[in-house]
Amino acid sequence: MNIDDFGTKISVLGEAKIDSPLKSHGLPGETGTRFITDDSRVSVNVQIETLKGFIGKKQPPPSFEQAGPREKIYFDPSKLKCAISTCGGLCPGLNDIIRSIVLELYHIYRVTNIYGIRHGLQGFVPDYGHDIMELNPKSVSGIQDKGGSILGSSRGTQDIDTVVDCLERMNVGILFMVGGDGTLMASKRIADEILKRGLKISVICIPKTIDNDIFLVSRSFGFDTAVDVATLAIKGAHNEAAAYPNGIGLIKLMGRHSGFLAATAALAQQDANFVLIPEVDIFLDGKTGFLQALENRIKQRKHAVIIVAEGAGQNFFDDQEDQYDASGNVVLKDIGIYLKDKITKYFNEKAIPISLKYIDPSYIIRSLPANANDSVFCGFLGRDAVHAGMAGKTNLLISFWNNHYIHVPMEASAGKRKKLDTRGRLWQSVLETTGQNTFFND
């Protein structure tokens, strides 16, 4: 990460002049202790080697604005209208995010006009005819125990002018967008159009991705739950593989461009012998190829477990024409089925009988409720999103960075992607626990 490639200044709609209602929740004799100032910063990079270069210099190291409640707010709660939209693929924790935002707005800031926009950006477009959902403590009661999103979702681009027209008609003051990289880019375009029109509408994004690959976000909600469920799939694959002579368990996990889920799940369970991720090229054939390594493992231990991220091995399909989904993303070729067929063919040709079980838990994972850790995490993200919006901040996403909740300008993150460092401790730990390098080098 080059810290000179982006700025960290947060945009504001205007001066915040209204006293925050959170004052009444402070401890006796500790006036203002709960508030965060804009001068509260979180360093971009905490590595000692990096910070040494700033010692003795006047310029401080680059830092992010810390998230949290401000003493002065911009919007008058009694007149404010807010809207919430969830976009893209489903993810554990979406309902927790919605509930956290609604409860914070309603109970703490006394904002009673909260609208749920149905089915993502489609909900802003009159032609689709989606109803607006009124949100309040009663309507969000218990939704944290349900998977999916009570607002629904959709994929695909919509006309930004039409979206902003709708926000104007509804007199929305704060728009909360929950989604992945595509949603982040759409949110930035919405915020830019709002600025172009001179409107006083705050746009706050809460990043969502099971892949945990959003740039400048060290942890995304839903990831912890995904690891939990993925370990169950690994346990099942291992039990199946160990129960049969030459048993092979093959699990495909999410990870279009990054192998964080595959790597973390492998470390959580430590039953996998091979972990294949997008950041590392896969070579199937030859004495140092994956298939020979798998054969070596089978001969030595009589069973094997393989985890493959969905974005791994896409180079095998270079001769096939790319297809795109409604959001403009390339539709990945199915590396799981591809490997299943290649493994079966390889051992058949060698007359080595195998028992291969293929497991793809992707749609189970993404539609489940969040686990306890993710639910708590979603609560922090939702509350800090509300604090940022009420303070009149805009064009930002709520991120978790260096163990702090921070504000990141959308332009610093949109269109960029975080990838697993193959020289870092996470991947090196995977290599140690699987022993897969031992087989590849045999």
Where in the sequence numbering do the catalytic residues fall? Answer: 211
Backbone dihedral angles phi then psi of residue 53, each to the nearest 5 degrees: -65, -15
**How many residues does this entry show for the chain?**
442
Find residue 11's DSSP bridge partners: 394
> What is the 3 state secondary structure string of 282-304?
CCCCCCCCHHHHHHHHHHHHCEE
Closest Cα to residue 39, out of 4, 2, 10?
10
Long-range pairs of 103-110 with CB within 8 A, sequence gap ≥ 24 = 103/137, 103/140, 104/382, 104/383, 104/386, 104/387, 105/386, 106/136, 106/137, 107/137, 108/21, 108/22, 108/25, 108/386, 109/21, 109/73, 109/77, 109/386, 109/390, 110/21, 110/77, 110/78
Yes or no: say if 336 and 180 are a contact pair by the CB < 8 Å rule. no
Yes or no: say if 376 and 348 are a contact pair by the CB < 8 Å rule. no
The string of DSSP codes covering 389-425 is HHTTEESEEEEEETTEEEEEEHHHHTT-B----TTSH
Helix axis angle for 223-243 and 372-390, nearest 10°, is 160
Per DSSP, 16 falls in state -
Yes or no: say if 240 and 305 are a contact pair by the CB < 8 Å rule. no
Helix axis angle for 290-301 and 335-349, nearest 10°, is 60
Residues contacting 26, CB < 8 A, separation 6+: 32, 33, 34
The token pair that represents 15 in the structure block: 């001066």
Cα 437 off chain centre by = 30
